[in-house]
Amino acid sequence: MNRSTDTPVILGAGPAGCAAAIALARNGGEPVLIDRDAEVGDALCGGFMSWRTAATVAELGIDLAQLGAQRVTSLRLFAGHHSAQSDLPEPAYGLSRRSFDSALRRTAITAGAKLEIDTIRALEPGCARGEAREYRSGSLFLASGKHDLRGAARPRIARDPALGLRLRIATDPGLNALVGESIELHLFEGGYAGIVLQEDGSANVCLALRKSLLARAGNEPAHLFEMLAGESPAFAERLEFAPANPHIDTIAAVPYGWIAQNTAPGLFRLGDQAAVIPSLAGEGMSIAIASGIAAAQAWQQGGGAAAPAYQQAFARRVRRPIRVAEAIWHMGENALGGPALTQMAQHVAPAARLAMRLSRIAA
Ligand SMILES: Cc1cc2nc3c(=O)[nH]c(=O)nc-3n(C[C@H](O)[C@H](O)[C@H](O)COP(=O)(O)OP(=O)(O)OC[C@H]3O[C@@H](n4cnc5c(N)ncnc54)[C@H](O)[C@@H]3O)c2cc1C
């Protein structure tokens, strides 16, 4: 099967799927891009766009600053009563997923991708079964992100899996003065909270933590926020700006550290379906976009048959950033490791910047 006889079908129009669609369409691939949502939603995400994400989307013709993204120039770490600040190696951005994913979808359609709205239920060799119809192709691009499809699910083996929670705090001069141009990471035993300002000045407060930590809060997200505020004065100070009964989004069982080492011919795994970097690195979207571009290039050269070689090469490319991010995540979620990490960032600034660089995917 090669590119001239086969229509590439992309399952999922998030960052990975849209990046593949743009790269394929610009090279005459005429991809079909399928998503279950007709309206772009606001995916649960920290909303931190690293300098690598900014550079990779620039290759696709998207300028984050033009989308109104907030500039982020420093990292602030908090653990208990300790805190540290370090400049980022290069400027980054804060942007809502609604804005980012909308820009990607627009760009993909303008480039010539055909968008279809359908929910894919299962995957078989050469066929994706949707609710509306079946999609047959020797070049399937699996980009359903956090959502596994029957027939291609990622293994879930963690004893104490990671969860994601998110709440938004409306723009407020007091909170904006506190957070400013920083990405804040508040480290707790069993997880962390990231805070960054987004394009409208609102703050995205996103937590990734062990299920056992939520269990300690009686499995009540609102109680969890109160519990963590009780452990950290800085986090409590920021939460004072939150509404009385905030809406809290949740996502279960995130397989941090998982990497697809191989795949079958005809099935390109992209984004979170290719590799899942611990989110405190803020590099998931960069990896997603890089996977879409790399898979499209592999397809241009070898059609669906190129999928295994692409997957193996991409696994090698993401190994270092994912292992570095895992080491930082494990240290940060440890009762003694969080304060130690914060003190190291305070006293050995070059080491903090090196860790930030090593947890990026190579160009
Ligand atoms: C708590 C948390 C915080 C994070 N914070 C950051 C951060 O600050 N910065 C960063 O860079 N990364 C962050 N990430 C990682 C980032 O969110 C992901 O790596 C990124 O979204 C992966 O992109 P994707 O395109 O693979 O998947 P997704 O963004 O999940 O997109 C998948 C798309 O597929 C569609 N879809 C899903 N299932 C189906 C189906 N059955 N049929 C049809 N369509 C379907 C969805 O509607 C969606 O549009 C975070 C992750 C978590 C869990």
Q: Which domains does the chain have, with CATH numbers?
A: 9-67+93-156+256-358 (3.50.50.60), 162-254 (3.30.70)
Percent of the chain, pLDDT > 70?
Answer: 99
- What CA–CA distances, in Å, run from 3 to 20, 292, 321? 14, 16, 32
CA 182, CA 85: separation in Å to the nearest integer?
A: 9
Predicted confidence (pLDDT) at residue 162 exceeds the cutoff of 90: yes
Region for residue 219 given its phi and psi (left: phi exceeds 0; alpha: psi -120 to 50; beta: otherwise): left
- Nearest CA to 273 out of 285, 288, 251, 252 is that of 288
Q: What DSSP line would sit under 244-293, residue for residue? A: SS---EEEEEE-TT-B-----TTEEE-GGGTB---GGG--HHHHHHHHHH
Q: Ligand 1 centre and the CA of 176: distance in Å?
A: 27
Ligand 1 atom closest to Cα of residue 207: 1
CB-based contact 167:193 (threshold 8 Å): no
DSSP H or E run through 106: helix 97-111
Q: Which residues line ligand 1 (CB under 6 A)?
A: 11-17, 34-37, 43, 45-48, 53, 119-120, 143-147, 149, 164, 206, 208, 251, 254, 271-272, 279, 282-286, 288
Cα of 150 vs centre of ligand 1, distance in Å, is 18
Average pLDDT of span 83-100: 95
Count other C-beta atoms under 10 Å from residue 173's C-beta: 9
End-to-end C-alpha distance for the chain, whole angstroms: 29
Choose one of 72, 256, 279 to mutate for the ligand 1 pocket test, by most ligand atoms within 8 angstroms of C-beta.
Answer: 279
Q: Residue whose CA is closest, atom 6 of ligand 1?
A: 46
Report pLDDT digits (tens) over 163-191. Answer: 999 999 999 999 999 999 999 999 999 99
| 132 Cα to the center of ligand 1, angstroms | 23
Out of 270-279, 294-303, 328-337, least confident range: 328-337
d(CA 269, CA 277): 15
Question: How far is the centre of ligand 1, averaged over its atoms, from the C-alpha of 279 (Å)?
Answer: 11
Closest CA to 89 of 311, 298, 360: 360
Looking from the CA of residue 16, the nearest atom of ligand 1 is 25
Nearest residue to 317 via CA among 255, 256, 261? 261
Ligand 1 mean position, distance from CA 173 (Å): 30
Task: Give dist(CA 167, CA 170) in Å, integer.
Answer: 10
Quote the pLDDT of residue 5.
57
Residue of the CA atom closest to atom 17 of ligand 1: 45
Q: Name the closest-CA residue to atom 41, ligand 1.
A: 120
Window from 91-100, 237-246, 264-273, 331-340 with minimum mean pLDDT: 331-340
Arithmetic mean of pLDDT, 84-88: 93
Among 146, 166, 183, 361, which is best to mutate for testing ligand 1, by the most ligand atoms less than 8 A from CB? Answer: 146
Q: How far is CA 98 from the centre of its chain?
A: 13
- What 8-state DSSP symbol labels residue 339? H
Report the distance separating Cα 267 and Cα 264, nearest Å.
Answer: 6
Atom of ligand 1 nearest to the CA of 291: 26
What local confidence, expressed as pLDDT, does residue 93 receive?
98
Report which ligand 1 atom has the smallest distance to the Cα of 149: 41
3-state secondary structure of 306: helix
Mean pLDDT of 343-359: 84
Query: Which residue's alpha carbon is at the smallest distance from atom 31 of ligand 1?
Result: 14
- Looking at ligand 1, which residue's alpha carbon is closest to its atom 48? 14
pLDDT at 1 (0 to 100): 42
Q: What average pLDDT does this structure show over 67-72? A: 98
pLDDT tens by residue, 108-151: 999 999 999 999 999 999 999 999 999 999 999 999 999 999 99
Q: ∠ at Cα 323 (322, 328), nearest 5°?
A: 95
Ligand 1 centroid distance, CA of 72 (Å)? 21
Ligand 1 centre to CA of 291 (Å) is 13
Main-chain phi, psi angles of 358, to 5 degrees: -70, -20
Q: How far is the CA of 143 from the centre of ligand 1 (A)?
A: 9
